[in-house]
A and B are shown apart, each in its own frame.
Chain A
Amino acid sequence: MRKLVYGLAAAAALIVAAAQPADAKVLKWSYTGDVNSMDPYALRESFTQSFLLNIYEGLVRYNDKLEQEPTLATGWEILDPTTWRFTLRKGVKFHNGNDFNADDVIFSYRRGADENSPFRGNLHAVKDVVKVDDFTVDVKLNSPYPLLLNDLTAWYMMDKEWAEANGAAAPVDPSKGQDGHASANANGTGPFMLKSRQPDTKTVLVNNPNWWDTPKHNLTEVIFTPISSSATRVAALLSGELDMMRPVPLQDIERVKRTPGLSVLQQPAMRVVFLAMDMESDELKESNVKGKNPLKDIRVRKALYQAINIDAIHKSVMLGRSRPTGVLLAEETKGYDPAVDSRLPFDPEAAKKLLAEAGYPDGFEVGFDCPNDRYVNDERICQAIVPMWARVGVKANLLAQTKGRHFKKMLQPGNSSIFMFGWASLPVMDVSSLFTSVISTRSGKLGGWNPGGYSNKRVDELISLVGQEYDKEKRQAYISEALSLHKADIPHIPLHQQTLAWGVRDGVNVIQAGDEYLRLWYVTIDD
């Protein structure tokens, strides 16, 4: 009896010790918005995906250098161009203690790729997933697809038994809503476990002691709070209520840097911001030129390009925190080719001449659409461009509005004449995303973000070759050719790559990645 009491006391002491470790390392951080759902197949919104990657894992993941590495799969081989065989990792346990095996992969495929699932676009290349044995699955493809691994990094594995036991096995259907268990709870295999969640208020994660990988982090708990007001977010960092927050608004970067004990991590983001032009309509909807479309003439597009003083935008609007580009790609994106990344020179005189040659010596009037809450200083960039164009005679009527309205207007072909948007080629981190969505001729699933109607047959051919070529060198040759053809046609005016700015307390070591994912399993806090 006495032994039992001692045993209980010891156990209680252990529990207390586990609950209140002497060296608790808690990371408190904030972002502008909340994780929208704990369900990994509810939305393909990049912040939600990035947050869930700390709880859930896919077959493959990116490491701190953004290289792919085996995760829940230990290896893979290409059996034939449309069949990939994956060997699964043994001994992996979900947070509730269930084992991870091939049935979970099949279940995750069915749930994520269902016809109504908002997630299915991520698995568009996959025809089926077939179980070979408990730790081997075959992924069947619709056609050869070199980016399968890139796509799989965003597809996180769910536990079949857990989902079924909690009534969350059915795929998400946005039109019927989702009151399911999986939207408020989580059971992954990842380095952190969900401890508590109050939507839009606070989400708490704790270290997963049974994680299959060797932890590089030393965190015991992570407290995430969304703070939408930038000023409040900065104040909370300055007052010491947060260890890390992002993004730091451009105008506050110096203020945060000057504060003792705080620093700002900066690096180029993968997102490139650019202008697109309607070169398809026979007459622009918002212009004083009637009966023809001036933007169909490459001389006009070139003139608009050369009239933009990108250095002035870089210095005055972006406060030096941007990297002007000549292509719609960031250096970090796979397929980037430095040989094509050069801008046409800023030359207002040449621009005037080009306009005169095209038959517009006195310029013309045209509509110009921008978002005002989507990209860094988006509205101010557009406001800076308007007088630059006015100098060569083009009167742009700027309409800057909230992103929901901006995208609704510009994505309808022919609605907007000149419009701003950005592309990050995420989550695949490969040029193919830009190719199929922005540059490809609009047809079927292709060219969804090409409302300007750019179309070049050779570019389309190259894009479809890029989409199926496994050989790296050949693939890069196709990519470079397509990029230079696209560049010569000037359907878009590239502006710049944005800069990430994360405010961090000294002693907190965070890996800042170009894809804006905060990989918590690399975060350490000094003693």
Chain B
Amino acid sequence: MIAFLVRRLLQSLMVMLSVALIAFSLFTYVGDPVHGMVGEDTSVDERQQLRESLGLTDPFPVQFANFVGRVVQGEFGFSYRNYRPVEELIAQRLPATLELSITAALLALLAAIPMGVYTGLHRDSMLSRFFQTVSLVGISVPTFVTGILLILVFSVMLNWLPSFGRGEVVDIGWWSTGLLTTSGIKALILPSITLGLFQMTLIMRLIRSEMLEVLRTDYIKFARARGLTNRAVNFGHALKNTLVPVITITGLQLGSLIAFAIITETVFQWPGMGLLFIQAVMFADIPVMAAYLVLIAFFFVMINLIVDLLYYVVDPRLRVDRSVAGSAGG
């Protein structure tokens, strides 16, 4: 088990290094950050001097080595846009993104489970067809369109919810939360629906197909033969057995929710890491882009690792195999 963990951690390190390497090789194509840092009438010499002092004129391998060297010492450099330490910028933005992504994931789960169960049990009812249609929309409409439509209806027409921002936030240590104020919670509703819609659709369809599968199995027939109530059969036996893949997928999707919150954050001016990244791209703010990409890679690696570990917890068969293999090897 420990050997497995160590191996996985080493692999994670390799993944993050590769991400950094690929990211750095792409940075030659993002443009010239110096353009945004100086006034239009700045002379060519001054621009060149600034480029040199930022290390932008070094060859690519040197820039990459410098970056890795600094990161090992826990320094991510300074943003070209406002000269502040990158780790500080990211720490400021992390809470907003995590609150948005986790709320979106929870909303998606809470809506998707009953919808999935219902459509699995009543395949041909009107309501099922309605859910199916809605889920098609959720899969096919791009996030920015959903976001703008929600803003149009709930902010512009009905005036119920804010169209941008995070509302009032409360600082708890370094963590700023919008969950403790009314305006913060109101501001969270539209972005989390926008971000969670695709996940909801995905989970609903997953549960539906799993339910259809499970309902055909023998043990469901036996359960019914034993005279158990519908409720006990549907939820106690059928749903329970569909949840293993659902948990896996939800866990993995959390990573993509964090990484792909970029579009939602841009539409709603949500002050999270995705917005920071977009701003960095527009400014060619290389230190911020590099740190963001490495951090997202780290999230993916960690979530994958946790999901792998969860298999052992959730699925007893794997534990048996593992202990047999372990004793055989030992």
Contact = CB atoms under 8 A, between A and B. Distances in A.
A332 to B, nearest CB: 17
A36 B47 contact: no
Contacts of B88: 179
A425 to B, nearest CB: 9
A373 interface: yes
B83 A42 contact: yes
Interface residues of A, number: 63
A405 B31 contact: yes
Interface in A221-258: 225-229, 231-233, 235-236, 238-241
Nearest to B263: A229
Contacts of B80: 174
A236 B155 contact: yes
A157 to B, nearest CB: 19
Contact of B32 (A45, A233, A407, A428): A407
Given A201-B271, A403-B31, A404-B30, A121 B42 contact: yes
Nearest to B158: A239
Interface stretch (B118-126, B162-170, B205-213, B313-321): B162-170
B282 A373 contact: yes
Contacts of B46: 121, 445
A408 B83 contact: no
Nearest to B55: A175
A437 B55 CA distance: 26
B37 interface: yes
B154 to A, nearest CB: 9
Nearest to A259: B156
Contact of A174 (B45, B50, B155, B282): B50
Interface string A403-447: 111111001000000000001101110000100110000101110
Contacts of B200: none
A437 B44 CA distance: 10
Contacts of A116: 53
Contact of A232 (B37, B85, B163): B163
Interface in B60-84: 77-84
A118 interface: yes
B42 A448 contact: yes
Contact of B44 (A174, A198, A448): A448
B192 interface: no
Contact of A225 (B29, B55, B92, B269): B269
Contacts of A457: none
A177 interface: yes
A446 B42 CA distance: 9
Given A175-B54, A433-B41, A448-B43, A241 B81 contact: no
A110 B164 CA distance: 41
Contact of A423 (B30, B40, B79, B268): B40
A43 interface: yes
B43 A121 contact: yes
A402 B282 contact: yes
Nearest to B42: A121
Contacts of B266: 228-229
A195 interface: no
Nearest to B43: A445
Given A373-B282, A404-B36, A174 B29 contact: no
Contacts of B244: none
Interface in B20-37: 29-33, 35-37
A229 B267 contact: yes
B261 to A, nearest CB: 14
Contacts of B165: 201-202, 225
Nearest to A446: B43
A36 B278 CA distance: 15
B284 interface: yes
Given A174-B54, A404-B36, A232 B42 contact: no
B57 to A, nearest CB: 12
24 contacts: A118-B37, A118-B50, A174-B37, A174-B83, A176-B78, A177-B77, A177-B78, A179-B84, A179-B85, A179-B88, A202-B165, A231-B267, A232-B148, A232-B163, A232-B164, A235-B152, A236-B163, A239-B163, A240-B159, A241-B163, A373-B282, A405-B32, A407-B32, A437-B40
Interface of B: 29-33, 35-47, 50, 53-55, 77-85, 88-89, 92, 148, 151-152, 155-156, 159, 162-166, 266-269, 271, 275-276, 278-279, 282-284
Nearest 5 interchain pairs by C-beta? A404-B31, A177-B78, A44-B39, A408-B32, A178-B83
